[in-house]
Amino acid sequence: MKRRDFIRNTGWFVVGAALVPGCATDNVSDSEATESERAGRFSFPQGVASGDPRATSVVLWTRVVPGSGDAAGDVRVRVHVATDPQCERRVVDHEIVATAASDHTVRVLITGLSPATRYHYRFVAGRDTITGQTRTAPARNADVQVNLAWVSCQDYSAGTYGAYRQMIVDDDARPEADRIHAVVHLGDMIYETRNDPFQAALDDHFNPIPLSNPDGSPRVVGAFPSGGGQRAGHEFAATLDDYRHLYRTFLSDPDLQAARARWPFIAIWDDHEFTDDCWQSQANYTDAATLDEPDQIRRAAASQAWFEFVPAHLTGAGGVPGVPSQAHDFTPVAVTDAPFTAPDADNFVPEPNNVAAVGAIAIYRSLRFGKHVELVMTDERSYRSDHAIPEELTQNPVFFAPRSVLPLPLVNTLDAGRTANGGDPPDAVSFLGGAVVFPNVRKASPPGTMLGARQKAWWKATMKESDATWKLWGNEVTLMRLKIPQLGATDVSDRIVAGDSWDGYPTERAELMTFLRSSGIHDVVVLSGDIHAAFAGTIVDNFDAASPAPVASELVVPGISSNSLFSFLEAATRGADPALRSLITVDASATGGAPFTENFHLLLLDGIRSAGTFAGAIAQGAPPSLALAAALAPGTADPNTNPHLKYVDSNAQGYGYVKITADQVAATIVTIERPVTPAGAAGPGIKRAASFTIPKGNAGGMSGPIVTGEKPFPLT
């Protein structure tokens, strides 16, 4: 299909704003709907949304479908944009078409708008309407405060979307100057599986209450239109219709619809928009031999569905002056699922179907908000290389899981590839003090990459050339090191929590952070998600250096609804060695504590001796306060475990909020009550809020947390 025909058939329109004279002031005039078109003939089941606000443009979105009994053909739609809620002072009044070929979605880029202005919009089909509001970004040099929220990970089957309702409630309580201007979504807007086996294991213990929607319907993902794919016990989306089915389901949530109708979203994808723990067009369901799950057909289908349902300005979006934008709209491709070939010198697989599937769309981009904020959004799935430790090696029982709790020395050596050991990589790497030896299968490989060569060059240029006071990096997966110290006398290697995050790609992380330091790029704040937990801390140039230098601050938000990191670790250690499990959780209820005390936090903050002392004291009947005092005593707590880490809340769902001025970034990570019931108009309630302040000109100067509400262990 030629590109011009594809665009015509996929509901993508560009409309310039201008004052529309003589507009009717009623909601829907007779000129816009014939008498034969009854009310209720059309519906907007996924609501409305806006995206990628810039100083003079924004993208509007909806999906409109014919009612029961009407043919499911194309639908004529009018889009109105105005400066007043009644849509009387219109600047846009234009007819577009929601095509059946685009699943009746429309995306309209409205240009010619005024900066820092709230606009009201509506879509009209027949006599049926739906409304929303949005806000453009301030002009490039405007010296104004910018307020953003950021979110991640909204598993439909794990919980409700009450975090969005809480975000609305909280925003209504703020003064106008502090209200949210836009929401940054860091991915996992959908999850590609249904009836996930590990989810079922979590439900048995952590979520025994069947979930329901506000209308009382069961909160489950229905069967895939194609029947879905089956692999290693996973049932997943396999076709374009399957991925569209997921977006229709996830975007039907009323709290998410309310948020999308209220604020513009700036979205990037993570793995579940395609497939869990993916890289390029490769899946990882089987955890078997490297390169054995090529899914180029699914990659292209997932990209098209994202393009249809997520409003984003890609082609022609612009960015930092002098740095060409590489983002571009989806273009249809014909691919087959072909075996991967060896990676090239940039660690990208040059197999033609992989090249075509990945290249069908490019979504990394930057957006400017006034004088003080450059928001840099990266794609950390499409161009990344394979995980450092091949999954088939992790079938060895000394490993905790294929991409979790991995030995730090092995990851560092294998990720470095041919550059390890100063360019003289070893033939083999050992574990457990030499008791287990693996061949170095990455000895001749280029170093691992998260961004890929082309995106990495763009990222460096964008960071260097932007003259914004603050560079905010919308970063999908956790950047800071989360190290688990030696787990015992026989396990003599430190481990990392997640090899799918930047801890699994330490060579490129050190390259990027060293670039910030050597280039004199200051005031970088990283907004992250993915890991279903809240963290805050300082990023250094090289976490393995003898004297690392701080270069940035990172704030990690928990998921909107997805099961927490703690719940995964708790489930994974059931039936394990009690000493190991006690480092994750202890039952302190007998002495007045929590039945699932998150000792994992103490392990990350103060080390294994501290966590072990606490667990041992609780087992001996000590009250939590005395057990914690013993755990934090001099000589027991090891503050060098993760010295950059300031805050841990691994058993959480919620959202983040940042307020940016010329002098500082003030941030709050909000943890809501567990969202297992519909929130209602009042929201689910706040369990805790942790606030941080990052001063200008001091990369290591983050202060906080200041916690209101129930403090997370061990702050209690």
pLDDT, mean of residues 419-437: 88
Q: Token digits for 133? A: 């509001």
- What does the pLDDT read at residue 5? 47
Please tell me which residue, 391 or 47, carries the higher pLDDT value.
47
Among 269-283, 478-492, 537-551, the least confident range = 478-492
- What does the pLDDT read at residue 639? 85
| Predicted confidence (pLDDT) at residue 29 exceeds the cutoff of 60 | no
| Structure confidence by residue, pLDDT tens digits, 375-404 | 999 999 999 999 999 888 887 777 878 899
Q: Token digits for 342? A: 């060896």
| Helix (H/G/I), strand (E/B), else coil: 524 | strand
pLDDT, mean of residues 453-461: 98
- What does the pLDDT read at residue 560? 98
pLDDT, mean of residues 543-547: 95
| Structure confidence by residue, pLDDT tens digits, 332-374 | 999 999 999 999 999 999 999 999 999 999 999 999 999 999 9
Q: Token digits for 408? A: 């730090």
pLDDT, mean of residues 131-138: 98
First to last CA, the chain: 61
| Predicted confidence (pLDDT) at residue 37 exceeds the cutoff of 70 | no
> Residue 2 — pLDDT band, cuts 50, 70, 90?
very low
| Helix (H/G/I), strand (E/B), else coil: 704 | strand
- pTM score of the predicted model: 0.96
Q: Are 90 and 29 in contact (CB under 8 A)?
A: no
Domains and CATH numbers, the chain: 1-28+38-136 (2.60.40.380)
Please tell me which residue, 184 or 30, carries the higher pLDDT value.
184
Q: Token digits for 613? A: 């002392």
pLDDT, mean of residues 11-28: 70
pLDDT, mean of residues 184-211: 78
- What does the pLDDT read at residue 200? 59
> Residue 20 — pLDDT band, cuts 50, 70, 90?
confident
| Predicted confidence (pLDDT) at residue 483 exceeds the cutoff of 60 | yes
Spatial separation of the C-alpha atoms in residues 133 and 224, rounded to whole Å: 33
Please tell me which residue, 69 or 538, carries the higher pLDDT value.
538
Q: Token digits for 675? A: 């969202």
pLDDT, mean of residues 317-334: 96
- What does the pLDDT read at residue 575? 86
- What does the pLDDT read at residue 401? 83
Among 162-176, 240-254, 285-299, the least confident range = 285-299
| Predicted confidence (pLDDT) at residue 286 exceeds the cutoff of 90 | no
User: Which residues does 168 contact at the CB level (< 8 Å), separation at least 6?
Assistant: 255, 258, 259, 262, 683
Please tell me which residue, 436 or 50, carries the higher pLDDT value.
50
> Residue 487 — pLDDT band, cuts 50, 70, 90?
low
pLDDT, mean of residues 627-633: 96
| Predicted confidence (pLDDT) at residue 472 exceeds the cutoff of 70 | yes
Q: How many CB atoms lie within 10 A of CB 691?
A: 17
| Predicted confidence (pLDDT) at residue 492 exceeds the cutoff of 80 | no
> Residue 30 — pLDDT band, cuts 50, 70, 90?
very low
Q: Token digits for 256? A: 């998410």
DSSP bridge partners of 196: none
Q: What is the mean pLDDT of the chain?
A: 92
User: Percent of the chain having pLDDT more than 90?
Assistant: 82
